[in-house]
């Protein structure tokens, strides 16, 4: 079966090579003009802030057309500061560093947040990129303290970090005890980083154990993943396999698959354990041999939505997958070209008029057509700050590969 998937992957790559060769736009043009576009759009957003005299952290567009801004405790609060860091990296212009520092430092209190698991996203995208690019010692302390806070959510008898609390709100209504979502794989990057910075191996050990437990319980035989696994807090056993943001419990929610491929790629980078890379490769085979993966490689919001093709695409899933594929291409010499070609094709799609906003429109977000959560009737077919963040990250990775 695996051989068949690999064959299909190879033929998909061949098709992609054929269909993405665009004589008008070279790879370097796409990078250069995307950087120029991003600088102008995000520059306009900074001008709005300066005019209001406020530091604002955009997340998406509300139904009434206004911009929805993050408060520091929202899971999406790290992405706009992170996008500013990537603009600094892509342009070398210190003005982006100044803006990135200001926005990053609005998240100072998150290092002590223990009531949800998303601090990895929030602090690694902001302070993590900031530390990577500046080696500011104060940022290092924030990253280590955040890892301590995240570690309080590790449940040793389960071998995983608890994602959401289950004592109130809609999570309590679902009757969960210890819900762990596939998204949580993304928070591991902060733990690996904190181990290297502090020398405290416990953070890395927690990350590896979480990745192994997720490997065991979150995946189906075809390598697609469930969104939520609920564990028994006493016995540590799986109670149920469900969804929160997907079409159904047994469906493949597109962003969940994206978090999974990205998460296992980063686990391989940090551990060199081949089982993690094998999982990332198997997820790639699942995605790119899927009969409902569209020709432009921007997935529908859920691969099993019964309304396909009359439903929404999710550009956020595409951006995360592209960024992961660029990194995977550096680990897989024999498939490097095919993974990079797939990633390039996604980036070409996202940079096209079909997904990229017109200059001065889209409330200054870069990309259109992402989906937050259809079951919660929230953020449907809108721009999302994490789509822009992973698009810029993918541009950095693409540029580094092509230099
Ligand atoms: N981590 C939440 C989401 O992917 O929507």
Per-residue pLDDT tens for 210-266? 999 999 999 999 999 999 999 999 999 999 999 999 999 999 999 999 999 999 999
Q: How confident is the model at residue 278 (pLDDT cuts 50, 70, 90)?
A: very high
Per-residue pLDDT tens for 25-38? 688 799 999 999 99
Which residue would you say has higher pLDDT here, 9 or 252? Answer: 252
> How many Å lie between the centroid of ligand 1 and the Cα of residue 183?
6
Which pLDDT value is given to residue 19? 38
Is there a contact between 241 and 249 (Cβ–Cβ < 8 Å)? yes
Which pLDDT value is given to residue 150? 98
Which pLDDT value is given to residue 27? 82
Helix, coil or strand: residue 126? helix
> d(Cα 129, Cα 110) in Å, to the nearest integer?
16
- Which of 183, 376, 384, 390 has the most ligand 1 atoms within 8 A of CB, as the residue to mutate? 183
Mean of per-residue pLDDT scores for the chain: 94
Residue nearest atom 2 in ligand 1 by C-alpha distance: 183
Question: What is the CB neighbour count within 10 angstroms for residue 141?
Answer: 15
**Closest alpha carbon to 196 in 185, 186, 207:** 207
- Average the pLDDT over each of 12-16, 58-62, 259-263 and give the range with the smallest value: 12-16
Q: Which tokens in the block code for residue 375?
A: 């079951």
Which pLDDT value is given to residue 25? 67
> How many Å lie between the centroid of ligand 1 and the Cα of residue 25?
33
Residues 6+ apart with CB under 8 A from 263: 182, 185, 186, 188, 211, 214
Whole-angstrom Cα Rg for the chain: 20
Q: Which tokens in the block code for residue 336?
A: 């490097």
Catalytically annotated residue among 93, 118, 302, 381: 118
Q: CA dihedral defined by 94, 97, 102, 103, rounded to 10 degrees?
A: 140
Q: What is each CA distance from 26 to 345, 347, 348, 380, in whole angstroms? A: 12, 12, 10, 32
% of the chain residues with pLDDT over 70: 94
> d(Cα 123, Cα 288) in Å, to the nearest integer?
31
- The verdict on the CB of residue 245 being under 6 Å from ligand 1 is yes
Which residue would you say has higher pLDDT here, 315 or 7? Answer: 315
> d(Cα 5, Cα 178) in Å, to the nearest integer?
34
Which pLDDT value is given to residue 4? 41
- The verdict on the CB of residue 183 being under 6 Å from ligand 1 is yes
Per-residue pLDDT tens for 178-220? 999 999 999 999 999 999 999 999 999 999 999 999 999 999 9
Residue with tokens 């289950």: 166
- The verdict on the CB of residue 257 being under 6 Å from ligand 1 is no
% of the chain residues with pLDDT over 90: 91
- The verdict on the CB of residue 75 being under 6 Å from ligand 1 is yes
Which pLDDT value is given to residue 120? 98
Residue nearest atom 5 in ligand 1 by C-alpha distance: 372
Residues 6+ apart with CB under 8 A from 3: none
Cα diameter, the chain? 60
> d(Cα 80, Cα 204) in Å, to the nearest integer?
27
> How many Å lie between the centroid of ligand 1 and the Cα of residue 400?
28
Is there a contact between 217 and 184 (Cβ–Cβ < 8 Å)? no
Helix, coil or strand: residue 330? helix
Q: What is each CA distance from 182 to 153, 160, 195, 244, in whole angstroms? A: 15, 11, 22, 11
Per-residue pLDDT tens for 138-170? 999 999 999 999 999 999 999 999 999 998 889
**Closest alpha carbon to 191 in 234, 222, 251, 145:** 145
- Which of 255, 375, 385, 389 has the most ligand 1 atoms within 8 A of CB, as the residue to mutate? 255
Residue with tokens 């698991």: 117
> d(Cα 358, Cα 41) in Å, to the nearest integer?
9
Per-residue pLDDT tens for 69-92? 999 999 999 999 999 999 999 999
Is there a contact between 285 and 221 (Cβ–Cβ < 8 Å)? no
> How many Å lie between the centroid of ligand 1 and the Cα of residue 280?
19
Helix, coil or strand: residue 57? coil
Q: How confident is the model at residue 303 (pLDDT cuts 50, 70, 90)?
A: very high
- The verdict on the CB of residue 210 being under 6 Å from ligand 1 is no
- For ligand 1, what atom is nearest to the CA of residue 183? 1
> How many Å lie between the centroid of ligand 1 and the Cα of residue 100?
23
- For ligand 1, what atom is nearest to the CA of residue 316? 4
> d(Cα 359, Cα 44) in Å, to the nearest integer?
10
Strands 160-161 and 154-155: antiparallel
Which pLDDT value is given to residue 13? 39
- Average the pLDDT over each of 5-14, 238-247, 275-284, 315-324 and give the range with the smallest value: 5-14
Q: How confident is the model at residue 14 (pLDDT cuts 50, 70, 90)?
A: very low
With 50 as the cut, is the pLDDT of residue 134 above it? yes
> d(Cα 195, Cα 207) in Å, to the nearest integer?
10
β-bridge mates for residue 251, sequence order? none
- The verdict on the CB of residue 385 being under 6 Å from ligand 1 is no
- Which of 184, 372, 377, 387 has the most ligand 1 atoms within 8 A of CB, as the residue to mutate? 372
Share in percent of the chain as helix, strand, coil (round to 5): 60, 10, 30
With 70 as the cut, is the pLDDT of residue 15 above it? no
Q: Is 388 a catalytic residue?
A: no
Q: Is 183 a catalytic residue?
A: yes
- The verdict on the CB of residue 88 being under 6 Å from ligand 1 is no
- The verdict on the CB of residue 255 being under 6 Å from ligand 1 is yes
Residues 6+ apart with CB under 8 A from 155: 161, 162, 178, 231, 233, 236
């Amino acid at each position: 079966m695996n051989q068949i998937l690999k064959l299909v992957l190879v033929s998909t790559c061949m098709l992609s090579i054929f269909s993405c060769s665009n004589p008008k736009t070279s790879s370097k043009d796409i990078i250069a003009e995307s950087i120029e576009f991003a600088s102008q759009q995000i520059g306009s957003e900074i001008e709005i802030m300066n005019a209001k005299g406020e530091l604002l952290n955009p997340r998406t567009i509300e139904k009434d057309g206004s911009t929805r801004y993050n408060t520091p405790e929202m899971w999406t609060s790290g992405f706009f500061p992170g996008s500013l860091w990537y603009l600094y990296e892509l342009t070398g212009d210190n003005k982006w560093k100044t803006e990135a520092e200001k926005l990053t430092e609005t998240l100072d209190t998150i290092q002590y947040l223990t009531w949800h698991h998303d601090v990895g996203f929030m602090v690694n995208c902001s302070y993590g990129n900031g530390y990577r690019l500046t080696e500011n010692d104060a940022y290092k302390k924030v990253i280590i303290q955040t890892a301590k806070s995240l570690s309080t959510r590790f449940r040793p008898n389960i071998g995983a970090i608890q994602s959401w609390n289950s004592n109130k709100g809609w999570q309590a209504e679902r009757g969960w005890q210890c819900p762990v979502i596939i998204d949580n794989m993304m928070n591991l990057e902060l733990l690996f980083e904190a181990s290297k910075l502090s020398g405290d191996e416990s953070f890395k050990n927690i990350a590896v154990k979480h990745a192994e437990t997720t490997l065991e319980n979150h995946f189906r035989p075809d390598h697609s993943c469930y969104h939520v696994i609920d564990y028994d807090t006493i016995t540590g056993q799986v109670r149920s396999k469900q969804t929160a943001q997907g079409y159904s419990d047994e469906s493949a929610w597109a962003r969940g698959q994206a978090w999974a491929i990205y998460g296992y790629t980063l686990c391989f980078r940090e551990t060199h354990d081949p089982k993690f890379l094998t999982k990332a490769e198997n997820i790639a085979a699942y995605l790119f041999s899927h009969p409902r993966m569209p020709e432009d490689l921007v997935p529908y919001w859920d691969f099993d939505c019964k309304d396909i093709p009359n439903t929404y695409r999710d550009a956020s899933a595409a951006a995360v997958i592209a960024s992961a594929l660029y990194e995977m291409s550096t680990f897989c010499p024999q498939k490097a070209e095919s993974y990079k070609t797939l990633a390039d094709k996604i980036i070409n799609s996202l940079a096209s008029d079909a997904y990229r906003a017109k200059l001065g429109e889209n409330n200054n977000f870069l990309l259109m057509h992402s989906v937050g959560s259809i079951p919660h009737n929230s953020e449907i077919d809108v721009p999302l700050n994490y789509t822009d963040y992973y698009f810029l990250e993918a541009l950095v990775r693409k540029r580094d590969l092509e230099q």
